Amino acid sequence: MTIRFALVAWVLCSSVCLAQDIGASRVRTAADGPFVPEAALPGGIVLSLYPGDSSALNADRVHEAEKYNTTGNYDRLLNTLNVHNPTIEVHLAEDRQRNGAAVIVAPGGGHKILWLGPEGLDLVPFFATQGVSTIVLRNRLRVDGYEPTTDAVRDAFQAIRIVRDHAAEWKLDPDKIGFVGFSAGAELAAPAALFFDDFQSKHSEPSDPLARVSPRPDFVGLVYPGPTPFTREPETAIPANAPPSFIVCAGVDDRVHAIWADEYFSPMLRAGIPNLEMHIYARGGHGGSIGDRGGIPFGTWPQRMNEWLDDLGFLAAPGEKTKAAKDVEKRAAAK
């Protein structure tokens, strides 16, 4: 496939873009401040993860525009890179009052690109049918000079904090905020389930308006995951209140990712983390997001995840304590 990079011009109709300038795509210069992408789907709310003068950002490059690929038959933005001002694109489900749940989605791409369309935007209508809001993360990439285990993981935790901080305004339940990562994006989901206390202790400066907002996800999903912290350090400490995890991958057809999935699942299971669920399918290969894969069993994994969310109480009425939360509290109290 010939790769062609261009800015995407989307016609956007949201009137609630929180002071974001929504209109024809344009590149902002250094004088304009950090580059902020347009929402890739109509109605999206785009928010920067950090203030423009944050020390977390590369001041020399934060004004650079992202590079987009829209080549092929795909009818929306396919992928992006050159992310120096990480953002979230928020899509609030119309009937989110059903449960108040929200999922932050981290697309994969081997830390070289972000498959923003298939592994991000495509999940918006899928989760919306359940009344679940979708927030698509544009995190920083190794190809652009950033370290996934620090910079991108920090973006993940910052996204969780921002969504939880806006929960009341957006009519979300602050105790039903999950994080789902695909492939390289799962390399952010796994640390999010393990290192939230460490992040909180290192990023609680009095000047930080999010210092008192919890970065802990209420559930995580690892979809055909890349290497997790257990791959690098099998004895990685597991917090007593680690959230429930849903893990899915093809088997021999995607053997290395299935092994990484098991390297995450097994220690969590041995530690007694409640409500873990893993599906390793006989065949299916790598990638594919939520596609039906021609009708093979692997194509049904999104339904399995919905059943898991429902079983754990994340699709129940807002304000109701979930079964997941009760089980976490019970285990933590026993420690």
Q: How far apart are CA 251 and CA 93, in angstroms?
A: 33
Amino acid present at 102: A
Mean pLDDT for the stretch of residues 132-139? 98
Residue labelled with tokens 């899509």? 91
**pLDDT confidence of residue 69:** 85
Domain segments of the chain: what residues?
A: 44-49+77-334
Q: How far apart are CA 79 and CA 20, in angstroms?
A: 22
Of the candidates 270, 144, 244, the one whose C-alpha atom is nearest the C-alpha of residue 189 is 244
**pLDDT confidence of residue 28:** 42
DSSP 293-322: GGG-GGGGHHHHHHHHHHHTTTTS-TTSPP
**pLDDT confidence of residue 123:** 97
Q: How far apart are CA 335 and CA 332, in angstroms?
A: 5
Using a 10 angstrom Cβ sphere, with 0-12 exposed, 13-18 middle and 19 or more buried, the burial of residue 168 is exposed
pLDDT at 168 over 50: yes
Please state the CATH superfamily assignment of the domain spanning residues 44-49+77-334 in this structure: Alpha/Beta hydrolase fold, catalytic domain (3.40.50.1820)
Give me 134's structure tokens. Answer: 């979708």
pLDDT at 335 over 90: no
Q: How far apart are CA 206 and CA 198, in angstroms?
A: 17
Using a 10 angstrom Cβ sphere, with 0-12 exposed, 13-18 middle and 19 or more buried, the burial of residue 84 is buried
Of the candidates 85, 135, 137, 143, the one whose C-alpha atom is nearest the C-alpha of residue 113 is 143
* Contact between residue 19 and residue 46 where contact means Cβ atoms under 8 Å apart: no
Lowest-pLDDT range, 34-38, 123-127, 159-163, 329-333?
329-333
Mean pLDDT for the stretch of residues 88-114? 97
**pLDDT confidence of residue 70:** 76
**pLDDT confidence of residue 77:** 85
